[in-house]
Amino acid sequence: MKIIEIEGAKELTGTIRVSGAKNATVALIPAAILTDEEATICNVPEITDTEALCDILRLLNVNVNRSTESVVINPTDMVNTEITEPYSKKLRASYYFMGALLGKYKKAVMYFPGGCSIGARPIDLHLKGFEALGAKVTSDKNKYIVEAEELKGANIYLDIASVGATINIMLAAVKAKGTTVIDNAAKEPEIVNVATFLNNMGAKITGAGTSTIKIQGVEHLHKCFHEVIPDRIEAGTYVIIGALCGKNLRVDNMIPEHLDSLISKLEEIGVKLEVGADYVEVLEHERNYKTTNIKTAVYPGFPTDLQQPFTVLLTQCNGKSKVTETIWENRFMHIPYLKDLGADIEVKNQTATVLGPTELKGCQVVATDLRAGAAMVAAGLLASGTTTITNVEHILRGYEDIIEKLSDVGAKITLKEI
């Protein structure tokens, strides 16, 4: 079993370089099978989620050449076999193979995806989108067969601006006959990154980043070279850590505009920041923070993926703050552990009320999911004494070199096998 041990209350100074975005990479790797030639993706983070997707590629007999930062994917000898449960349930994003295989072969057979237990996480909107394009969906327990004689462009309105459904429908529609329009599409930067990748291969997608995406089907997709955008959630996590215990802590190689909502909340509570073209630095300042309320929302609203780490910061604000989670129904699993560390938090329905400031003291906690794990790391870095985090596999799924990055700026943090 792996654990993370943190000796907290150390001041963090220096520069942390942000890696490629997990939530873009996990869509780009399945999307790459749509090329008829070869795709090179660089700035790919070395995290277990990307490794799990490369394993699925190998299962499909796709040639995968992984070097330090890039992956070269060549699907010319690919075979469209069933993606069995042990492969699909390793992560959520295995579901992007549904759209990509459907788009390429007009048939996908795979099991329900896995991922963090942060809510019910249905895929009905993905399936409805495939059906609108002409596919037939049959399911037996956890197994899904999605197939079509022909895929035809359609007008699809998403009831919820779902990131996964938007990307999956784009993947299925990219080679369909005619034009597909996705209305109420999600606008996250990761969607723009995936659309750019597909366009680099010859797809005709316009409007990505707005709520209407238009996809004109093409017959072939060619060779391409593509770079993953910086991970806005990783960047935001480190900026929040900087606000908790940083002194001139710079988070570099990021796109600050992707974090406008976080940056304005940090400034509102009194965190002194320098925002550059590709970095945010938490400057030296007195930590005397005002309270605030946050409500998670689709992009460009406050990201649900930063809600959990941000809650840690609210434990250090003077008075009562509120966190309302609107995207996932089960994303407060970090709260009991924050309370064990000394936080004063009450949860009622989808709102957590945080009373601060409270002193945090190290103890044993659990990373119940990826961003809950990030919250535990942030809290452990602030707390006095030793914090031990279990279930750290969740953290390693999404944060490249987290131990090294934090150690380099002065944290006493170790990953141990016990």
- Point out the residues that are catalytic: 116
We find the least distance from the C-beta atom of residue 244 to ligand EPZ, in angstroms, to be 20
- Residue 36 CA to residue 40 CA, distance in Å, equals 13
Residues touching ligand EPZ, count (CB under 6 A):
27
Q: Should residue 125 be labelled a site residue for ligand EPZ when binding is judged by CB under 6 A? A: yes
Candidate residues 20, 56, 75, 92; the one interacting with ligand EPZ per rule CB under 6 A: 92
By CB atoms closer than 10 A (0-12, 13-18, 19+), residue 138 is exposed
**Given the complex with ligand EPZ, which of 74 and 180 has the nearer CB atom?**
180
Quick one: which of 169, 182, 15, 14 has its CA closest to 98? 169
C-beta closer to ligand EPZ: residue 79 or 160: 160
Among 101, 123, 170, 389, binds ligand EPZ (CB under 6 A): 123
| Residue closest to ligand EPZ, measured at CB | 164
Q: Could you say which of 119, 178, 276, 319 contacts ligand EPZ (CB under 6 A)?
A: 119
Cα→Cα distances 172→14, 44, 58, Å? 44, 23, 21
Selected binder of ligand EPZ within 33, 116, 135, 333 (CB under 6 A): 116
* 164 counts as binding ligand EPZ under rule CB under 6 A: yes
List 60, 93, 294, 392, residue binding ligand EPZ (CB under 6 A)? 93
Tell me the window of 54-62, 117-125, 221-229, 281-289 that interacts with ligand EPZ (CB under 6 A): 117-125
Residues 6+ apart with CB under 8 A from 284: 247, 248, 272
Identify which of residues 162 and 387 has a Cβ nearer to ligand EPZ in the complex: 162
Residue type, 159: D
Q: How far apart are CA 168 and CA 163, in angstroms?
A: 9
How many angstroms separate the CA atoms of 78 and 57, rounded? 9
Q: Write out the binding residues for ligand EPZ, residues 325-344 only, by CB under 6 A.
A: 327-328
Q: How far is the CB of 119 from ligand EPZ (least distance, A)?
A: 5
Q: Please state, in angstroms and as integers, the Cα–Cα distance from residue 325 to each residue in 39, 296, 303, following that order.
A: 37, 5, 10
CB 240 within 8 A of CB 255: no
| Contact pattern for ligand EPZ over residues 286 through 315, marking x by CB under 6 A | ------------------xx----------
Check binding of 371 to ligand EPZ (CB under 6 A): yes
> Per-residue b/e over 239-250, b at no fewer than 16 CB within 10 Å?
bbbbbbbbebbb
Is residue 351 within 8 Å of residue 322, measured between CB atoms? yes
Binding site for ligand EPZ (CB under 6 A): 23, 26, 92-93, 116, 118-126, 160, 162-165, 186, 304-305, 327-328, 370-371, 398
